[in-house]
Every structure is written in C-alpha cells, then in structure tokens.
Amino acid sequence: MTDHSLRIALIGFGEAGGILGQDLAAQGLYVSTYDRLGESLRARADAAGVVLCASAAEAVAGADLIISAVTAGSALDVARQAADLMTPAQVFMDINSVAPNTKRAACAAVNAAGARYVDAAVMAPVPPQRLKTPILLGGERAGQVAAWLTPLGFNVRVVADDIGVASAIKMCRSVMIKGLEALTTECLSTARQYGAEDAVLASLHKSFPSMGWDADLPHYLISRVAEHGRRRAEEMEEVAKTAADVGVTPHMSHAIVATQRGLVERMAQQGMTYADTLPFNWTTLVDTLGD
C-alpha cells in the first residue's frame, strides 16, 4: 500500500481531529469524518478538504484506518459503535485520553468484531506541532500503523505490544500537567484576592527560574483550563480510574477534576466563553469572575 492509497476516517472533528484531517487531506489522502455536530461543521470540513459524512457508517466504509478523536467520556461508546461497522481488514486507532482499562474494553469490542485496535496516546497539545505531536502506540498492529503514519509526517513511536501501556504513560503524565494547571489556577486566583500575586510569582520564579513564572507561563496554564477545563476534567476522571484500578487512591486527580471543571462552570454562570477572554490575561479573568 502506498502512502496516498491509505484511506482514513476520523470519528470526531474537533480540535485534534480537524488538524489531523486537514494535514492529511493536504497530502492528497482521502479523509472522511463523522461528528455528532453534523452539518454545523460543513464549512470547516470543506475548507480542510475532508469529506463530512452523515453517519459513522458512511465515514468508516472503505477506510483502512479509523481514528477516534472524541471526548474521554464518549471514547468507549464510540469504539463499541464503530466495532459494529468495521471489517477485519480495518484498524481502529484510539487517540482518546482514557484509562488503560477503558482502552482494553474498547479493544475487546473492536477485536470481537474481527477488526484490530491500536492504543494511541497523544503526549502534547496538537495545535502547535500538528502532525509532529508525539504519539505513543501500543497493540499488535501498532507497528503497522507506525509504518503507515511515519511517512506522512506523524511523530509516532511504538512502546508496547499490549493495550494500555501507552495510555498509562499519558494518564500518569496528566496528573502532573493538568495538576500544574489546576494548582496555578487556585494559587493565583487566591493570591490575586490578597494583592499578593506579584510576590508569589517572584518567589516561584526564584525557585524555578527556567519555567517562565515571570513571563507567559501563568497566562498559558490558566488559559488551558479556561479553554479546555471541561474536557480536561473528563480526562482526569479517567486518570483517577487509572490510579484506582491499581490500588492507588487518586486524591490529587479528584481535586484536579474539581478545579478544572470549576473554572469553566464559573465562567458559564457569568455567560462567558473562552473567546470572550481573548487576548487572554489571567488577571482579567480572575477579576471578572470575582465581580
């Protein structure tokens, strides 16, 4: 199979799915997509050169590789639904941020239908690096998928033959990454109320001078919560499952869920969207929510 004969279906045409679809279609590949938002995405899909389908069945038909790029809360249901539509020749690549046991349940559904499943963990935000975003792969067909995607510009690496290892790496990392976002949100929201934010940031910069506490880092970390807090909260619920499944009590993960979801819920209560906060400044957001 040559690179350009590869047919790809995307289930989910949000931030990650939209970028993958656009960059693959730009290389001359046939890319179809199905998203529950349907026709509202027509202009975006047309501009990306991606075929927007009216159903998942239409999108999956004839595809060699089906990439699932939905929310964490929908990932297992989407895998089960896709399994009923797939043939043994097709491969399902699950890039959703969910617990290893969730990936294993999805794999069981896909394999029971005779198709094959690949666990994929996206290890950084997709927009900056696009296809070059690091992705870890696991499963019996991981090597085959890597051979398909590497020539197309993907930055993929096979880490295991077993399902769940790649996901575990991502989930454990998320405790730190999403946790740092949540800690920064709580720390600076509190400091702002006491007029202590400048001193707090100066102290953080002194302790960790290479991180950027005196520059854009606080704005970036809190902006990620403001933009993606609801989705991140769903992911952190899967992180909590990851820990609990091996006997670790996920105290921190549950707290991160509350902080990530809490900020976007407070914004929603005041009728704010992320777009309303641009250009983003964390102090402006905190002051607005505090009114």
Global pTM value:
0.91
Architecture field, domain 3-163 = 3-Layer(aba) Sandwich (3.40)
Q: Give the pLDDT of residue 290.
A: 87
Q: How many Å apart are CA 144 and CA 103, to the nearest integer?
A: 19
- Residue 2 clears pLDDT 80, i.e. is over it: no
Which is more confidently placed, 4 or 12? 12
Its sign, for the CA torsion 88, 91, 94, 99, is positive
Segments of the chain assigned to CATH 3.40.50.720: 3-163
pLDDT digits (tens, 9 = 90+) for 102-130: 999 999 999 999 999 999 999 999 999 99
Q: Give the pLDDT of residue 277.
A: 97
Tell me the pLDDT of the chain averaged across its residues: 96
Q: Give the pLDDT of residue 1.
A: 43
Percent over 70 (pLDDT), the chain: 98
> For 4-8, 224-228, 286-290, which range has the lowest pLDDT when averaged over its residues?
4-8
Determine if the peptide bond prior to 279 is cis (ω within 30°).
Answer: yes
Neighbours of 284 (CB within 10 A): 12
Q: Give the pLDDT of residue 291.
A: 65
Q: How many Å apart are CA 235 and CA 182, to the nearest integer?
A: 13
Q: Does domain 170-290 have CATH number 3.20.20.105?
A: no
- Residue 187 clears pLDDT 70, i.e. is over it: yes
Q: Give the pLDDT of residue 38.
A: 92
pLDDT band of 3, cuts 50, 70, 90: low
- Residue 211 clears pLDDT 50, i.e. is over it: yes
- Mean pLDDT calculated for residue range 68-86: 96
Q: Give the pLDDT of residue 113.
A: 94
- Mean pLDDT calculated for residue range 242-257: 98
> φ and ψ at 210, to 5 degrees?
-90, -5
pLDDT digits (tens, 9 = 90+) for 136-186: 999 999 999 999 999 999 999 999 999 999 999 999 999 999 999 999 999
- Residue 21 clears pLDDT 60, i.e. is over it: yes
- Mean pLDDT calculated for residue range 2-10: 82
Segments of the chain assigned to CATH 1.10.1040.10: 170-290
- Residue 4 clears pLDDT 70, i.e. is over it: no
**CA torsion angle 264 265 269 275 (round to 10):** 20
Percent over 90 (pLDDT), the chain: 98
* Angle between helical axes of 165-193 and 197-207 (0-180°, round to 10): 140
Helix (H, G, I), strand (E, B) or coil at 173: helix
